[in-house]
Amino acid sequence: MQATLTRVSGIRVGHADDAEALTGCTVILLPDHTTASVDVRGGAPGTRETDLLAPECTVQHIHAITLCGGSAFGLAAADGVMRWLRQKDIGFDVAVTKVPIVPAAVIFDLGCGNPLAYATPDMGYEACNAASEDPVIEGCVGAGMGASVGKMLGPSGCMKSGIGSYAITLPDGTTVAALVVNNAFGDIYRERTGQIIAGTRLPSGQFFDMAAQLRGGHAVPEFNGGNTTLVVVATDATLSKSECRKVAQMAQDGMARAIKPIHTPFDGDVIFTVATNQRPAPAMVQLGSVAADVVAAAIERSVVMATSMAGMPAMRDL
């Protein structure tokens, strides 16, 4: 059985990207009556339609999530997703029409490829057409095309990353899964060993060990833009918007275990949680704990599955 986000029945994932400009988008199409919420921890987020995910807001269900490259420009990709959904007569019924509800978030990848290129509405539409329930394609695709990690010493010290996904099915049959677009400022750690597996590298090829250097008082450059890790956690359990938010909050622990430092002023870290409401939910403590586990595993896969690009080495090529 496949172990990616699409293990959750009814979820479809599609990518569209530009391999020359090194940007793209990834769309997660959701089944009817999917509830969702979000937790934003980074200091420099780029988002759209996240306020309506607050538990007290009127809209209860969403139809898709768009993850985009191109900084704030890339949020336009969600327009193409809305166009595709409207053509399928999918959306929130407002009597005179249906309005697709499509939260979106972006990474900053303008320094990786063409700084004038970004995810477009046509890319969003194309990603919807490509979406399927097949195992998620990981690595340097979609919104992960221009992703990199380990930014403290600038572009020369970065490593390539991309998209990673992982899923677990609990003994009661509940599935919890995550998809990650990893464009972190920090280094990436393998949780079971505590070792850095990707991140800032010195000219010698050794890891700079950002966390240790920061503890030692190493100066941080004044501007370290170009970061953000985006996550979608999905489950087939039945959850309210408030419960989705709590799962998103607990899932942030997976980020903290796999990326150091995390949630910095230079990152726009965002975790969406979606629940397809197909089965009774296990205890929230179990669901949130497993959500953190799949996020940490997906972050590891985002660098394991990446390939070298734009002068940046990938883990598999070291």
pLDDT in tens, 248-304: 999 999 999 999 999 988 888 999 999 999 999 999 999 999 999 999 999 999 999
Instruction: Tell me the CATH number at 128.
Output: 3.60.70.12
Averaged over 108-134, what is the pLDDT?
Answer: 94
pLDDT at residue 227, as a whole number: 86
Lowest mean pLDDT among 24-28, 164-168, 285-289, 308-312: 308-312
* CA atoms of 180 and 182, how far apart (whole Å): 6
Neighbours of 269 (CB within 10 A): 27
How many folded domains does the chain comprise? Answer: 1
Binned at pLDDT 50, 70 and 90, residue 9 comes out as very high
Look at strands 195-198 and 228-237 and give their pairing: unpaired
Strand partners for 178? 166, 233
The enclosing H or E element of 215 equals: helix 210-215
Summary count for the chain: helices (H), strands (E)? 5, 16
The enclosing H or E element of 181 equals: strand 175-183
pTM more than 0.85: yes
Q: Which residues, in sequence order, are CB contacts of 294 under 8 Å at separation 6+? A: 166, 167, 168, 176, 177, 178, 233, 251, 254
Structure tokens at 89: 């007569």
Averaged over 304-317, what is the pLDDT?
Answer: 93
Domain containing 195 equals 5-317
Look at strands 270-279 and 228-237 and give their pairing: parallel
Binned at pLDDT 50, 70 and 90, residue 224 comes out as low
